[in-house]
């Protein structure tokens, strides 16, 4: 996943307002978001190549999301799958603090990454280059393929759009967040970061939504958790061969019990 922006514990009605785009090669096999047969409390998409995931939530409110960190010089030989950092947390019972402590110890086995993990009480951020995880305070954040809140154009734009939308608004409409996620405008040349790739590629990757021949935005996801522990999870999945995205929509209440969960038809 290459971009997400979110409001954490700073809205009177919602504990978390989260929107994300996952960018990936179109040929990489992917399963759309669903409750996993092997772990029926986990709601997430799945990378069918390495069997990890990029973002997900559980019925009890455990949440995790991941982006790669763009630094070609920092890649290692024979790394572990970064997607397992998300799936392992969702499938485990460790506290976010305990889990991040283990990730810190094991970070050298992975290519560069950013990781968010949390539960109904806390949310933590960790970057492979760090020595410890950061517990996030209430606020509005953005993350792409660099550090949290690095002001790349797509991060600035998406955070500002979310900030503007949340002002004096008690009910959040997922469709508006999808409109932010669908912005395909490229950044100006002078705004482009320098991350060790060509300027042409920096430009191609600079938009919130990426259109490419063999690589681009594969899915857009909106997750809302209100202060009554009700969850709305919507995802749109894209492939060039499809005229319309595949959409899934789940709603459920957080609980330590095995709640009945329904998929809502469109």
pLDDT in tens, 31-82: 999 999 999 999 999 999 999 999 999 999 999 999 999 999 999 999 999 9
Cα 50 from Cα 263, distance rounded (Å) = 26
How far is CA 203 from each of CA 47, 195, 198, rounded to the nearest angstrom? Answer: 26, 12, 9
pLDDT, position 205: 97
Q: Is the pLDDT of residue 261 over 90?
A: no
pLDDT digits (tens, 9 = 90+) for 134-159: 999 999 999 999 999 999 999 999 99
The CATH number, out of the four listed (3.60.60.10, 3.40.50.150, 3.40.50.450, 3.40.50.11540), of the domain defined by the range 3-258: 3.60.60.10
pLDDT digits (tens, 9 = 90+) for 99-129: 999 999 999 999 999 999 999 999 999 999 9
Q: Which residue has the higher pLDDT, 243 or 230?
A: 230
pLDDT, position 256: 74
CB-based contacts of 169: which residues, under 8 Å, 6+ apart?
A: none
Q: Indicate left, alpha or beta for 88 from its phi (over 0: left) and psi (-120 to 50: alpha).
A: alpha
pLDDT digits (tens, 9 = 90+) for 168-185: 899 999 999 999 999 999
pLDDT, position 203: 97
Q: What is the overall mean pLDDT for the chain? A: 94
Residue pair 53/31 in contact (Cβ under 8 Å)? The answer is no
pLDDT, position 242: 84
Cα 266 from Cα 248, distance rounded (Å) = 8
Q: Which residues pair with 126 in a beta bridge?
A: 115
Angle in degrees, 0-180, between the axes of helices 96-106 and 83-91, rounded to the nearest 10: 150
pLDDT tier, 210 (very low <50, low <70, confident <90, very high otherwise) = very high
Q: Is the pLDDT of residue 263 over 90?
A: no
- Give the rounded percent of residues in the chain with a pLDDT score beyond 70: 96
Q: Is the pLDDT of residue 220 over 90?
A: yes
What is the mean pLDDT of the segment spanning 187-208?
A: 96
- Give the rounded percent of residues in the chain with a pLDDT score beyond 90: 92
pLDDT, position 259: 43
Q: Is the pLDDT of residue 257 over 80?
A: no
pLDDT, position 53: 97
Domain definitions of the chain by residue range: 3-258
């Amino acid at each position: 996943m290459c971009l997400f922006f979110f409001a954490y514990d700073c809205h009177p009605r919602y504990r978390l307002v989260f929107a994300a785009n996952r960018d990936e090669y179109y040929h990489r096999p992917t399963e759309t978001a669903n409750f996993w047969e092997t772990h029926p409390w986990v709601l997430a998409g799945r990378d069918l190549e390495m069997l990890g995931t990029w973002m997900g939530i559980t019925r009890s409110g455990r949440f995790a999301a991941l982006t790669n960190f763009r630094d070609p010089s920092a890649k290692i030989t024979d790394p572990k799958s970064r997607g397992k950092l998300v799936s392992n947390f969702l499938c485990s019972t460790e506290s976010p603090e305990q889990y991040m402590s283990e990730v810190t110890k094991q970070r050298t086995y992975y290519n560069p990454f950013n990781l968010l993990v949390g539960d109904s009480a806390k949310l933590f951020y960790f970057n492979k280059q760090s020595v410890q995880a950061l517990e996030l305070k209430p606020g509005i954040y953005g993350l792409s393929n660099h550090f949290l809140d690095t002001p790349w154009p797509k991060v600035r734009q998406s955070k500002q759009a979310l900030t503007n939308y949340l002002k004096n608004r008690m009910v959040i409409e997922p469709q508006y967040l999808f409109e932010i996620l669908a912005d395909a405008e490229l950044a100006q040349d002078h705004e482009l970061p320098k991350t060790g790739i060509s300027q042409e590629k920096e430009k191609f990757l600079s938009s919130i939504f990426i259109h490419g021949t063999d690589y681009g935005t594969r899915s857009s996801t909106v997750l809302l958790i209100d202060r009554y522990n009700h969850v709305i999870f919507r995802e749109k999945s894209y492939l060039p061969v499809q005229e319309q995205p595949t959409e899934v929509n789940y709603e459920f209440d957080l609980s330590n019990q095995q709640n009945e969960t329904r998929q809502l038809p469109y």
